[in-house]
Structure 1
Amino acid sequence: MRYLILVFIAFAITVGCQQDKSKYIKNQGQAHGTFYHIIYKSPNGVDYHKQLRNTMQRIDKSLSTYDPVSVISRINQNDSSVVLDDHFLNVYRKAEEIARETHGAFDITVAPLVNAWGFGYTEPQRTDSVSISTILNYVGYEKVHLRNGELIKDTAAIQLDASAIAKGYSVDLAARILEMKGIKNYMVEIGGEIHVKGQNPNGAAWRIGVDEPTEEQTLIDRKIQRILHISEGALATSGNYRQFYEKNGQKYAHTINPKTGYPVQHRLLSASVLADDCMTADAYATAFMVLGYHASMDIVETHPGLEGYFILSGDEEPFEVRYSEGMQSHLKD
């Protein structure tokens, strides 16, 4: 599971804010193999934690590759009796859409490669040019087809991995639940993927920190590179600088290029994507780490509703920051 790099800082808001701060409710816990934090202004002071938690659990039953009886696991096991639920269908259709738009940089069939390199839900496998070439025969979103509510794989060896989009989907679903309850001020964060609307308890836009891309592994050592101010929308970040391993002097990052079969090697250290929904932001952030900066910025500039914030390794300075024009308004000092 990829290590997401957004830091949620709304929980660090100091006391002594608006008089109605007590109406903001905070929920937190574990889901999807990570932690979640949700804060919202409930008009009647009602706590919706149980409903939110139950929804996350149902999503895991559909999309978690770590659950052997989930929908996606049964698909990977070629269980012909599996019934595709709405959660799987929603995520699969979005994954297919973004795969087409990124020319396969985002690919839900990348599971065999992720597993082979030791970043998936199985033990690492052999990774030489012959084995990777063989695995590539089973990778490619165009080799899977949705027909009459049934998923058809060109070959039984194809396996799916929704980890790069499922958390964003879960964030959106939690936000939708809050919206249906009449809640207009909220922040939903799951594993660094975020959807916000309205104001935080201080009466200001939500403040979301983007990590400085260093290899430090602990939360204590993490540093904020920039704070983004967002009143509505979803933000997801993907990066290669923490989840990696070294073997024989070579560093292997967790982002795998579905076209080559190998971990990516370029200057882009992290990509943060702002979109209307978190599922879209989540998938594009992963795709951008495959594509690199220039191709990613080309996509951002031609897709209304997408904004990007990119951190690259610098030539003279440690980091170089670039972002789309629309991101400027969120970079208040």
Structure 2
Amino acid sequence: MTRCSQGLRVLCGALFLAGLLAGCEQAEDPRVLVLRGSTMGTNYSVQIVEPSAALDRDALAEQINARLADITTLMSTYQPGSELSRFNNADVTEWFLVSPELEAVVEAAQAVSEASAGAFDVTVGPLVNLWGFGPSPRIEDLPSAGDIQAARARVGWRQLEVQAQPPALRKSRPDLYVDLSAIAKGYAVDQLAGLVESHGIVDYLVEIGGELRGRGVNGHGEPWRIAIERPDAGQRAVFQVVALRDLGMATSGDYRNFVEIDGQRYSHTIDPATGRPVGHRLASVTVLADDCMQADAWATALLVLGPERGLALAEQRGLAALFIEHAREAADGDAFVTQATAAFGALSVSH
């Protein structure tokens, strides 16, 4: 399992499909305040509809950046001094005291791991690195069965424990490695949403690297319209448009991040159960949830599970999920088929 956030595009106003690929940069709505910046190796945007004249925009921007910096300091695996990095680097199996925030995110991740029978697993980093999707250079040869077996020994969500009082984490083996990239951005989106609402703002859209949370309406008094991207590595086009009403939204897909070896394409999404990239036809999964953190984690879990098991589990748990799958017959070329859960179908979706 890795998390590559993709497939979501914000539609600014009533643009035609031909103009969507330029996104918000093509036509800003004067009724909407847009704050932008960089975080977590990607970009963020906060759109606020008709902000009050009393709103201190510079102060809000500073608060947003400070909040994102705090989250990065807690949960980044790229910052050696982050709280998560210090836990990963600790050569111990005793309880390791952490912040309540880090504990809460890991607890949420573990809950999704249990509910998905380990399809979602924040300890899968060694396998991700082995297949060349981590910070190391891309691989040119397939990993050996022995290397996969050795990496799998270091992977397993049950080898990670979490407790709330006092907030702490514990590994069952000292070389366990935790990576929250498949859930931390969703958490950060929720945190920014809470920050915006603390200023009395009720119409907004928060986005970080493709994870979103929207409330109220856009500058035209309509629900926020989000385009799900066609899961095609060779082009960028809109596949379906979702009207986002007071929900979080995340998409996980494999069409941008993969490696080709000897003419075979290998997905960046690793199945912890096999130690290998997933081999099913599922191209992307979009999940809607009350908060973005849950949407973020479940989009990854369902992508790992694939079209049959993923759809069955999503229906069982009442998740709002849209599955986009490559057509079975080769003659269909780049054709896709979709399946949506009843919960997703019950939400307002515009085509």
State the TM-score, normalizing by the size of structure 1: 0.91
**Who is 2:185 aligned against?**
167
- Quote the offset at 1:285 in angstroms: 0.5
In 2, Cα distance between equivalents of 1:107 and 1:325: 26
In 2, Cα distance between equivalents of 1:212 and 1:294: 20
Out of 326, 332, 338, which is 1:321 matched to?
338
In 2, Cα distance between equivalents of 1:264 and 1:104: 14
**Who is 1:184 aligned against?**
202
Out of 14, 30, 39, which is 2:38 matched to?
30
CA contact (8 A) 1:6 1:237 kept: yes
Q: Read off the aligned partner of 1:26 and give its amino acid letter.
A: V
Q: Read off the aligned partner of 1:35 and give its amino acid letter.
A: N
CA contact (8 A) 1:113 1:256 kept: yes
Q: Alignment partner of 1:168: what SS? A: helix
**Unaligned stretches of 5+ residues in structure 2:** 16-28
Q: Alignment partner of 1:97: what SS? A: helix
- Quote the offset at 1:23 in angstroms: 5.4
Report Cα offsets for 1:238-262 as digits up to 9, x if no partner.
0011100111222111100011110
**Who is 1:116 aligned against?**
130
Q: Say if 1:287 and 1:275 are closer, same or farther in 2 by CA, change over 3 A.
A: same
CA contact (8 A) 1:212 1:224 kept: yes
State the TM-score, normalizing by the size of structure 2: 0.86
- Quote the offset at 1:145 in angstroms: 1.3
- Quote the offset at 1:13 in angstroms: 5.8
CA contact (8 A) 2:91 2:175 kept: no
In 2, Cα distance between equivalents of 1:123 and 1:153: 28
**Unaligned stretches of 5+ residues in structure 1:** 15-20
In 1, Cα distance between equivalents of 2:31 and 2:63: 18
Q: Say if 1:122 and 1:65 are closer, same or farther in 2 by CA, change over 3 A.
A: farther
In 1, Cα distance between equivalents of 2:190 and 2:311: 24
Query: Residues 47-62 of structure 1: matches in 2 within 5 Å?
Result: 47=57, 48-62=60-74
In 2, Cα distance between equivalents of 1:262 and 1:11: 39
In 2, Cα distance between equivalents of 1:121 and 1:63: 16
In 1, Cα distance between equivalents of 2:174 and 2:88: 8
CA contact (8 A) 2:97 2:169 kept: no
CA contact (8 A) 2:183 2:297 kept: yes
Identical aligned pairs, as a percentage? 34
**Who is 1:308 aligned against?**
321
The total of aligned residue pairs comes to 322
Out of 226, 230, 251, which is 2:244 matched to?
230
- Quote the offset at 1:200 in angstroms: 0.5
Report Cα offsets for 1:209-265 as digits up to 9, x if no partner.
00101113xxxx410001101111011000011100111222111100011110000
- Quote the offset at 1:180 in angstroms: 1.5
**Who is 1:5 aligned against?**
6
Q: Alignment partner of 1:138: what SS? A: coil
Tell me the C-alpha RMSD between the 2 structures. Answer: 2.0
Q: Alignment partner of 1:181: what SS? A: coil
CA contact (8 A) 1:102 1:287 kept: yes
- Quote the offset at 1:150 in angstroms: 2.6
Q: Alignment partner of 1:208: what SS? A: strand
CA contact (8 A) 1:71 1:83 kept: no
